[in-house]
Amino acid sequence: MDNFEKRQQLAPFVNLRSDVGFKAVFADRNNKDILIGVLNQILPPEARIEDIKEYSDREQRRDVPYGKKTVLDLVCVDHDDNTFIVEMQASEEDYFFERCVYYASGLYHLELSDGERYKGLHPVYVVSFLNYSLRHDDESLWDTDHFISYWHFTEKRTGIVANQTISVIFVEMTLFTKTLEECVTEFDKMFYIFMNSGGFLKIPEWIEKTGGISRRLAEACEVAAFDKEKKLKYEIDKMNEWDIQAQKEYAVRKGLEEGRQKGLLEGRKEGRKEGRKEGRKEGLEQGLVQGREEARLSIAKKFFEAGTPIDVIVNCTGVDNEIIASFAHPD
């Protein structure tokens, strides 16, 4: 599919649950009021935002001295010097909570310069919108009315909450399943738009009547309202998103098929060698395991050859980044 055909398939409204759509709306400084309005529906009362004085899109402003460079969707600082990391996580990945803490601690660390005292530190909040559901010990506690979780430091026995330092907030949007008729509050209507914006053909009449943050959010999703520069960037980002998805799907199909065929072949060979039913079964199992591992490596290699970023390959395949890097220098 060429670029012209892809442009013809752009939906009239962005999908807020995609990385590209989310950034098109919330990384636009002209939509600062929308970002503040949405965050204030989610943040605890003590963290509510009056205004944003710093607004950084995509890359962390300075490198963390003790670690790798961090790429973030959006970082903003309010007038109380609280820092907010806001991101859309479109697909599940391992150790996601640890990654959020790592990002937050990097920014928390950077708040002090040499010689400054700890009283100069201000809270850092990570707000992650998830297009999937987390795994919970008790799933019955999480539903369409309870899909936002707040994580911070507490004393285990008493439950006393420590002074605010680093907080992580997860918004599990797929748990929100209310119909339009069930949406009564502004909060409900806002998340109904999050879940359904990609299917809008025009701004629905009920949003026009509702007004407020819901109307502003819906208006900001309309692609036709983008200026020329923003629309071009959005189209390029969407095409890149489609290309990466196509590469991923092809690599998975190809790798699984190669792994299955090789696993079956190894299993049959091992089974014949043993000459017993038990041997055949064990050989098949061993071959399939080996085949799956080789399939995983094959998928990762195809991603690498297609130019997919290493961190994306690690998240999609679970293959260690050192192994992926070695593809550039085969023996």
What's residue 255's pLDDT?
Answer: 77
What's residue 100's pLDDT?
Answer: 93
Model confidence at 90, pLDDT cuts 50, 70, 90, reads confident
Model confidence at 108, pLDDT cuts 50, 70, 90, reads very high
Model confidence at 313, pLDDT cuts 50, 70, 90, reads confident
Model confidence at 40, pLDDT cuts 50, 70, 90, reads very high
Nearest to 230 by CA among 4, 26, 28: 28
What's residue 8's pLDDT?
Answer: 45
Say if residue 248's pLDDT is above 80: no
What's residue 77's pLDDT?
Answer: 93
d(CA 250, CA 248): 5
What's residue 120's pLDDT?
Answer: 85
What's residue 116's pLDDT?
Answer: 75
What's residue 139's pLDDT?
Answer: 95
The average pLDDT across 122-127 equals: 95
Model confidence at 195, pLDDT cuts 50, 70, 90, reads very high
Asked if 307 contacts 292 with a C-beta cutoff of 8 angstroms, the reply is no
Across 261-283, b (16+ Cβ under 10 Å) vs e yields ebbeebbeebbeeeeeeeebeeb
What's residue 127's pLDDT?
Answer: 96
Of the given ranges (127-131, 202-206, 279-283), which has the lowest mean pLDDT?
Answer: 279-283
Model confidence at 154, pLDDT cuts 50, 70, 90, reads very high
Say if residue 5's pLDDT is above 60: no
Asked if 266 contacts 290 with a C-beta cutoff of 8 angstroms, the reply is yes
Of the given ranges (66-75, 146-155, 181-190, 193-202), which has the lowest mean pLDDT?
Answer: 66-75
